[in-house]
A = this chain, B = another copy of it.
């Protein structure tokens, strides 16, 4: 690692008094593991229903097989959403199992969006592997994304209950926001300036809405009323914004070994992420210099051959202008609002403690 890139790989959210509640990591690991253990068999059974070759392409995407079709034990992601969906059911006084179809449906929508976004964004790597469009071509990425999206609704609606209908309606609303957010994200890449408010709105759509749905869908399936579901959605929405703020920090300063992405990934893609827009909005010499550089970059024909040092210089200016610290603080602010919402729902103490531990995990993670 060159000296100019020396700040990568550090914790993006350094120890801070706001994190006095940071959970025992074993506990969170067990919650994530439970979410995976209960939802993966149902997810695999759903994916098995797809017509060939979509079943194989989807299995590759989820890391169950490699590009040659051989069984693999790939990295299926952190599985935060399934863990949240099961806790959501328990928050409503139901068994964790009641949340499983919700966990699976949310994972299907999440992965539908990854398949399409990777293609639209031209991302070649995800979870340390080539993306689906790189391996199986753009048509399969579109098609399998579509199929997973349809499957998400199918998994819920075949329950045939009134609650399933309500859950599907919430999932559909979240999916629409997810798509709105991707549309905003793409349009912002072509704009010179994006306000902090616009960026937060985009991230609320792109990340907040589906995490909000994960946090309420189990409760809805477990019979919770709309008010309880709405409050759990508020927890999830702000957790999603905290999650995304951390993601934006990792997108610039994350360690490629952990994130599975290229160095300075978001800068290479001209993403107007929170650290960038906050730095540009901050004013002052570093902010001004950054604005000039990014404006020149937008017109540069050499951008694709920029060296590590050129991206590192931009990252240093973002940090100097305060964009990195502002984003870390934003993660803490959103985390606090999320925790506050948790206290407005009447739920078993152990479930509240577990949802708190997951929120803490989300803001201290390194990938």
Q: Chain A: residues with CB nearer than 8 A to chain B? A: 50-54, 112, 116, 119-120, 138-139, 142-143, 145-147, 149-151, 153-154, 157-158, 160, 162, 164-165, 168-169, 172-173, 175-176, 179-180, 182-184, 186-187, 205
Task: State how many copies of this chain the complex holds.
Answer: 2
Most B CB within 10 A of own CB, among A175, A183, A187: A183
Q: Contact between B183 and A53 (Cβ–Cβ < 8 Å)?
A: yes
Q: Contact between A168 and B176 (Cβ–Cβ < 8 Å)?
A: no
Question: Which of B150, B172, B176 meets A176, CB within 8 Å?
Answer: B150
Nearest CB to that of A55 among chain B residues?
A: B183
Q: Contact between A120 and B149 (Cβ–Cβ < 8 Å)?
A: no
Nearest CB to that of A170 among chain B residues?
A: B157
Secondary structure at the A interface, as helix, strand, loop or mixed, is helix
Q: Contact between A183 and B54 (Cβ–Cβ < 8 Å)?
A: yes
Q: Contact between B168 and A116 (Cβ–Cβ < 8 Å)?
A: no
Asked whether A53 and B149 contact (CB < 8 A) given A142-B119, A143-B120, A158-B169, the answer is no
Bound CA span A151–B153, Å: 13
Question: Which of B143, B149, B168, B169 meets A183, CB within 8 Å?
Answer: B143
With a CB–CB cut-off of 8 A, which chain B residues contact A186?
139, 143
> Shortest CB–CB separation between residue A187 and chain B, in angstroms?
7
Bound CA span A84–B110, Å: 34
Q: Contact between B142 and A169 (Cβ–Cβ < 8 Å)?
A: no
Q: Contact between A142 and B120 (Cβ–Cβ < 8 Å)?
A: yes
Given contacts A51-B180, A151-B176, 17 further A-B contacts (CB under 8 A): A51-B184, A53-B183, A54-B179, A116-B143, A116-B146, A119-B142, A120-B139, A145-B146, A147-B183, A150-B175, A153-B168, A154-B172, A157-B169, A157-B172, A158-B169, A165-B165, A168-B168
With a CB–CB cut-off of 8 A, which chain B residues contact A183?
51-54, 143, 147
21 A–B pairs (Cβ distance < 8 Å), ordered by A = A51-B180, A112-B146, A116-B143, A116-B146, A138-B138, A139-B186, A142-B142, A143-B179, A143-B182, A143-B183, A146-B146, A147-B176, A147-B179, A147-B183, A150-B176, A153-B168, A153-B172, A154-B172, A154-B176, A157-B169, A162-B165
Bound CA span A292–B158, Å: 47
Bound CA span A120–B143, Å: 9
Q: Contact between A187 and B139 (Cβ–Cβ < 8 Å)?
A: no
> Shortest CB–CB separation between residue A226 and chain B, in angstroms?
11
Nearest CB to that of A119 among chain B residues?
A: B142
Bound CA span A145–B52, Å: 22
Bound CA span A154–B120, Å: 24
Bound CA span A183–B147, Å: 10
Bound CA span A205–B145, Å: 18
With a CB–CB cut-off of 8 A, which chain B residues contact A160?
169
Bound CA span A162–B184, Å: 34
Q: Contact between A179 and B162 (Cβ–Cβ < 8 Å)?
A: no
With a CB–CB cut-off of 8 A, which chain B residues contact A139?
120, 186
> Shortest CB–CB separation between residue A51 and chain B, in angstroms?
4
Bound CA span A162–B112, Å: 27
With a CB–CB cut-off of 8 A, which chain B residues contact A145?
146
